[in-house]
Structure 1
Amino acid sequence: MNNRWILGAVALAAWSTYAIAASDAPAPSVLVTQTALRQGTLPRTIEAYGVVQASAAASRTVMAATSATVQTLYVREGEEVSAGAPLMQLVPSPQTTAAYAQAQSAQRVAEQLLSRTKQMFAQHLATAQQLADAQKAESDAQSNLAALKAQGAGGAQVLRAPFRAIVLHVAASQGTIVSAGSPLFDLASPEKAILKVGAVPAQALLVGRGNAARVTAVGEEQSWPAAVVQRGSMVDPATGLVPIEIALPPGRFLPGEAADATITVGDTQGYVVPHAAILVDDHGGTYVVQDDGLKARKVAVSIAGAHGDQDVIRGDGLKPGQPLVLSGNYQLDDGMSMRVEQPGKKEAQ
């Protein structure tokens, strides 16, 4: 019996010693890094995708001035040509040749009639009205012939590029007969390209002429500055999107090239924080952790905007005087202790 009492006393003393030692041990804590919580702004942007096109203001369709046959074609689609470069040689069609011959004949007859009328007028055998009519007929015949000459009816004509251009489309092939007014080429200046993108109506309403943008060709990393030149005022029924045109820097993009555009439509104000500071709970809610006297405090927040690796957050529970926890925040729960990592000093977690 005495031995049992002795063993019990020894066990109780040992447990008391362990409990005292445990109570004196420091509470577990998490090593973290922090940043100050500051108000700021981030650009508010929308993303859109589209294809590079020739600007309507820098495009031209070359048309046939008269009925003619395509004798020689000097260029192909997609080719870049200098100003004045030959595009196509046209020769008058049989109908145009006949019209030109008739105009020449009409001018000769009108000149002869005018000459006779002048002689008769001088002999008082023709009236002043007859002389005026003969003069008008001669003038009309001369104007008609000059117009046909200007249209190329007088012989072979070489069409030349009116400016440095990219040949977007060739509408006629060698040997074909084209009528007056028929399109022959679509040309566009390589210096004035646009990116035509589409945006959903809710986003498109935020876009205005002059908004800054950054454009990146698909598959490339480099982006280039650009600006919105036009936003449509109706939805394209084919796509369900509102068309937006963005002027591109010269020489950086080619017609037909696909590209992404990030358009700045304003600023978003709030607390600007690194993306790493934001966590998601089991219910899909977003929150951050603040340092409340080296004790963790979870704060529910909403994300008002994002740009790059930063976000703008808002939340009623945010306190500007309490630092925001970055690394180590996912290990923390409300009330847990933390210790702050000192710059240049590594400490075991």
Structure 2
Amino acid sequence: MDILILTMKKGLRAICCIGCAITIIYYIYLNHIFESSDHIKRAIIEQYEDLKSANVTHIILWWNQPAWVGTYERKCGNCIVATNRGVFDNSSAVVFSLADRGMGKKPPVKIIKRNQNQIWIAFSLEANTLNLRNRNYANKYWRNMFNWTWNYRSSSDIFMPYGRVSKRQKPLSKNYSMIFQRKNKFAAWAVSHCNAHSLRDKFVTQMNMCLQTKSIDIFGKCGRLKVSESELSNLIDNDYKFYLAFENAFCDDYVTEKIFANYNNDVINVVRGKANYTEIFPKDSFINTKDFRNTKDLVRFMIEVSENETLYSNFLIQKDEFQAWYTLEEQYKKSICDICRKLNDPDLKKKMIFDAVETLGQCIKPNDV
């Protein structure tokens, strides 16, 4: 019996020893796993730091660069802008200008041969209706080829509006009565794109027909009056009560420089387009043609405002709480930096855009002319 008990005790000790050994081995194994995990985390962090460092250069290649971009900034952070297609394979991002020639009916490489780490960007500051001459991007070959969009729509991956407005830190101090009294002309319109898709020419003709003792002065290629850009800005600021900021197309979110360029002047902008202007500009700081049943009602209201100092001044007071920024070069520079920031993101997520046409939104013909 004693021998049996002694044998059992020895067996239990052996089992305990084996259990301890297994526990120690398991601990060492887990510790190795945790250490490996820490090594992986540190490697990811180090990789991210390398990505942000000046030693890593991201090339943003313009496949078909618009002419107006030529003199603009070509660098932001560790990103440089190139136009030489010879660096295509080494580029982190390739930008295709939808409205410019040289894009090609088909992508430069088939999707199966494409560098999967490369970002393809669809760029356009023009509406779909204005890309009629160069609509290669509408071909089926370009479907599912783009990863990002870069345009004037707030829903785009790289948002580049024609201008921005921001609230002034210090309110302007003006003699609005004096401004009202010095204005001796009704409305001005500068236009060089005649017979536009938005039918704005016909709309202005209807407006002039409703005016009796007043008129809309038309400057530019589509009008009789010719002055320099700086002279026109001074004329609008000093003489005119209204400026017609009419878009050449009725497209989603499409607001060009027309209103931004004269926003800081002492003038009431009259806007016409498909965009939601109250999302961009303060309410009661402009007049929107869509708020009126017809042209006659619009003109009647404009005349009333033009002859009432209080009404006119209130529009300017609301507008002057904000300031417009509309330098295209600055907007472009910010966009390049936005692209660079995204390329340096370690959590960068790619997506495939089925059709670039759809990303530019819907364009319609107005039904009030």
Specify the TM-score bucket, using the shorter chain as the normaliser: under 0.3
Structure of greater relative contact order (alpha carbons < 8 Å, 6+ residues apart): 1
- Higher-Rg structure is 1
Report the structure, 1 or 2, having the larger strand content. Answer: 1
Q: TM-score, normalised by structure 2?
A: 0.19
Q: TM-score, normalised by structure 1?
A: 0.20
Report the structure, 1 or 2, having the larger helix content. Answer: 2
